């Protein structure tokens, strides 16, 4: 549905986007993750035909963003970082206007607007002037304008930024409910957002794609550095010694608790799940195993890992 | 056409749902009205004095021309006031969209730049037309209390309209250059003043050069309209000037897209 091939964009001498390529399949939600100034907005603006790329090629819904921009525009709904709202208009008038310029047929405008107000849950404010709405409602009106013509592709630039926690959850739920019918690209600098809403992630940093996969695979790829928490009954130092003698296991901390219980945290770099081996080792040594838990790797770790490696300071 | 109408309607509604239209129309009427009053009362005094003199010397009263002595200066005054008021109408057309980010909506919707430009321009033009129609009350009063010729009034208004459209076209252009409305308005006034004044310097340079300058003078082309002369060369001049302003707006928007401004 979306194909990006080696896109580069300069602003003067600043290379905001550097040879970025990726694809999005029909019906997929792609998370576009990166810190501030990574080039997320610029990439999205290129896909929405707002900005031309300096080099490279991109197609959306089968149309080239550069040579067929009007066709592309018919097939996309775009919510920029700041929702583009005419503050002095009433919600319903604004959505009618957007429906018109998005090419919704005159007969269908009424029903399209009603439907999108239902989807985004803004019917109760439809007669209010936009500037009097709360930030959360403005964000929904922003989503509604992107959705009103029922586009194949939705491009959402940091859709939850500036919202309070309750609103964030609501907007995420809304976005998830849109998947399937629409192909979605969603940018964010918030990690949990991606694992919660997206099926696939492209991580971008300083204009470059540094990783691309499902949130699960990305965290697994970094595994090898899986963390395990254990509670064992036995002598603290001996347990630590025994565990570290195993291959690919490093001790992080061990602290003694009451009743001979010991809390142990280890890092496992084994290919396979090391939990059975560890359990067996402890039982065979005659100690009691009370708890054995894998912490997994958070997307946070992945993110730090790929971005610091990029700088050459990390591994 | 649909897109053009959508943009046009939105702009026009936005003018009339904010105070700007009423303030500009109101002030324009007020200032034009003050000068109208001064010019007309002066004209009436001149007439009365002439009548008295005629009676004193037992001569027929002279025929003073209300078109020449009152209407023409009134039209000229309005052409100047429009220069200061129209940029207040055009300054927001693009600058505001740039500032608030709604330009991103327009430029990612299947609407061409030309449709947007023409829609915005026409909304400004209609607002200006409303302004001019409101001032027609002044002329109607003259027709009730005197016997002016209708022709020069009509050509004068046509000239005023074309002149104003030239201001609006370039007001739109300067608005497309910046996200700052004040900058847009001030540059428009400065630019238009330059094209006013270009006719005045023609007296100081060689006749050949002076002729060229005079041809470019915005107000020079208005004189004939105010006199009641309808000459296609002046109409063509204003239409070219307007087209140039709209064309430059298009270039400016397209180039801003490339530069990422
Ligand atoms: N219109 C612009 N003019 C000049 N530089 C820009 C412009 N837009 C973005 N940049 C620069 O490009 C880089 C990427 O910006 P952006 O795409 O907005 O990143 P993100 O959305 O990931 O925060 C930044 O260094 C930013 O300063
Ligand atoms: Mg951004």
CB contact under 8 A, B108 and A48: yes
Q: SS3 for A205?
A: strand
CA dihedral (B28, B30, B32, B38) in degrees, to 10, reads -170
CB contact under 8 A, A88 and B18: yes
pLDDT in tens, chain A (315 residues): 999 999 999 999 999 999 999 999 998 999 999 888 899 999 999 999 999 999 999 999 999 999 999 999 999 999 999 999 999 999 999 999 999 999 999 999 999 999 999 989 999 999 999 999 998 899 999 999 999 999 999 999 999 888 888 888 888 888 888 887 899 999 988 777 887 788 899 999 889 998 888 877 776 665 556 778 889 998 888 888 888 888 778 787 888 888 888 998 887 777 677 888 888 999 998 999 999 887 765 556 666 666 655 444 333
Sign of CA dihedral A78, A81, A87, A90: positive
Rounded distance between C-alpha atoms, residue A310 and residue B90, angstroms: 49
Q: What is the model's pLDDT at position A297?
A: 59
Give Cα B70 to chain centroid, integer Å: 19
User: What b-and-e string marks burial along A81-91, b requiring 16 or more CB atoms within 10 Å of the CB?
Assistant: bbbbbbeebbb
Q: Where are the domains of chain A?
A: 2-220, 224-297
Q: SS3 for A180?
A: coil
What is the pLDDT of chain A when averaged over all its residues?
87
Q: Which ligand neighbours the alpha carbon of A43 most closely?
A: 1
Query: How close is the nearest chain B Cα to the Cα of A61, in Å?
Result: 15
Q: SS3 for A183?
A: strand
Collect the ranges in chain B with pLDDT lower than 70: none
Ligand 1 atom closest to residue A12's alpha carbon, by position in its atom list? 4
Within chain B, what is the greatest distance between any pair of CA atoms?
A: 78
Confirm or reject contact between A149 and chain B (CB < 8 A): no
CB contact under 8 A, B107 and A82: no
Query: How close is the nearest chain A Cα to the Cα of B255, in Å?
Result: 11
CATH superfamily label, A2-220: P-loop containing nucleotide triphosphate hydrolases (3.40.50.300)
What CATH number was assigned to the domain covering residues A224-297?
Answer: 3.30.70.1340
Confirm or reject contact between B3 and chain A (CB < 8 A): yes
With beta carbons less than 8 A apart as the criterion, state whether B163 and B218 touch.
Answer: yes
Residues 6+ apart with CB under 8 A from A40: A32, A34, A157, A158, A187, A189, A204
- CA distances from residue B147 to B48, B63, B150, B230 in whole angstroms, order as listed: 16, 11, 9, 21
Q: What is the model's pLDDT at position A83?
A: 93
Written as six digits, the tokens of A314 are 């990390």
- Between chain A and chain B, how many beta carbons pairs sit less than 8 Å apart? 71
pLDDT tens-digit series, residues B33-61: 998 888 888 888 888 888 888 888 877 77
- Report the percentage of chain A scoring pLDDT > 70: 91
Rounded distance between C-alpha atoms, residue B50 and residue B60, angstroms: 10
pLDDT tens-digit series, residues B5-30: 999 999 999 999 889 899 999 999 99
Q: What is the model's pLDDT at position A131?
A: 94
Neighbours of A197 (CB within 10 A): 22
Give the Å distance between the CA of B108 and the centre of ligand 1.
Answer: 18
Q: Where are the domains of chain B?
A: 2-259
CB contact under 8 A, B102 and A85: yes
Scanning A108-147 for CB atoms below 8 A from B yields 145
Chain A residues with CB-CB distance to B101 below 8 A: 80, 82-84
């Amino acid at each position: 549905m979306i194909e990006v091939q080696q896109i580069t964009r300069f602003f003067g001498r600043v290379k905001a986007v550097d040879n970025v390529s990726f694809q999005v399949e029909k019906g997929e939600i792609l998370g576009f993750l990166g810190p501030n100034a990574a080039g997320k907005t610029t990439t999205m603006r290129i896909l929405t035909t707002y900005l031309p790329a300096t080099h490279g090629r991109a197609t959306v819904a089968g149309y080239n963003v550069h040579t067929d921009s009007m066709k592309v525009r018919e097939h996309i709904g775009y919510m920029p970082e700041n929702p583009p709202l005419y503050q002095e208009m009433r919600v319903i008038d604004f959505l009618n206007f957007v429906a018109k310029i998005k090419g919704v047929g005159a007969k269908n405008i009424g029903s399209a607007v009603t439907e999108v107000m239902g989807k985004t849950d803004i019917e109760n404010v439809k007669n209010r002037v936009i500037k009097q709405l709360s930030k959360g409602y403005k964000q929904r009106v922003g989503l509604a304008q992107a959705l009103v013509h029922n586009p194949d592709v939705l491009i959402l630039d940091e859709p939850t930024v500036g919202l309070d926690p309750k609103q964030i959850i609501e907007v995420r739920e809304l976005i998830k409910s849109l998947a399937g019918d629409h192909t979605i690209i969603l940018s964010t600098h918030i990690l949990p957002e991606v694992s919660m809403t997206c099926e696939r992630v492209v991580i971008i940093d300083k204009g470059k794609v540094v990783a691309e996969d499902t949130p699960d695979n990305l965290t697994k790829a970094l595994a090898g550095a899986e963390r395990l928490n254990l509670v064992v009954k036995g002598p603290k130092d001996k347990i630590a010694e025994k565990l570290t003698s195993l291959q690919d296991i490093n001790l992080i901390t061990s602290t003694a608790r009451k009743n001979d219980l010991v809390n142990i945290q280890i890092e496992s770099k084994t290919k396979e799940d090391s939990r059975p081996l560890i359990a067996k080792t402890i039982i065979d040594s005659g100690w009691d195993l009370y708890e054995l838990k894998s912490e997994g790797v958070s997307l946070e770790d992945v993110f730090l890992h790929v971005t610091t490696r990029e700088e050459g300071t990390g591994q | 056409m649909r897109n053009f109408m959508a943009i046009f309607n939105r702009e026009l509604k936005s003018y009339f749902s904010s105070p700007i239209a009423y303030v500009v129309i109101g002030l324009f009427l007020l200032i034009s009205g003050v000068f109208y009053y001064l010019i007309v009362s002066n004209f009436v005094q001149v007439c009365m004095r002439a009548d008295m003199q005629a009676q004193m010397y037992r001569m027929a009263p002279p025929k003073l021309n209300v078109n020449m002595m009152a209407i023409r200066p009134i039209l000229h005054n309005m052409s100047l006031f429009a220069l200061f008021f129209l940029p207040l109408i055009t300054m927001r057309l693009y600058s505001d969209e740039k500032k608030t980010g709604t330009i991103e909506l327009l430029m990612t919707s299947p609407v061409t730049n030309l449709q947007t430009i023409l829609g915005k321009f026409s909304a400004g033009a209609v607002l200006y037309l409303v302004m001019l129609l409101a001032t027609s009350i002044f002329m109607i009063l003259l027709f009730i209390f005197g016997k002016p010729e209708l022709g020069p009034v009509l050509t004068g208004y046509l000239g005023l309209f074309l002149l104003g459209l030239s201001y609006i076209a370039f007001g739109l252009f300067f608005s497309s250059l910046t996200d700052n409305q004040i900058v847009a308005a001030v540059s428009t006034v400065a630019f238009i003043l330059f094209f006013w004044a270009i006719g005045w310097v023609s007296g100081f340079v060689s006749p050949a050069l002076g002729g060229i300058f005079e041809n470019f003078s915005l107000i020079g082309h208005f004189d004939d309209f105010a006199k009641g002369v309808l000459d296609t060369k002046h109409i063509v001049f204003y239409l070219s000037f307007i087209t140039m302003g709209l064309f430059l707006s298009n270039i400016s928007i397209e180039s801003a897209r490339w530069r990422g401004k």
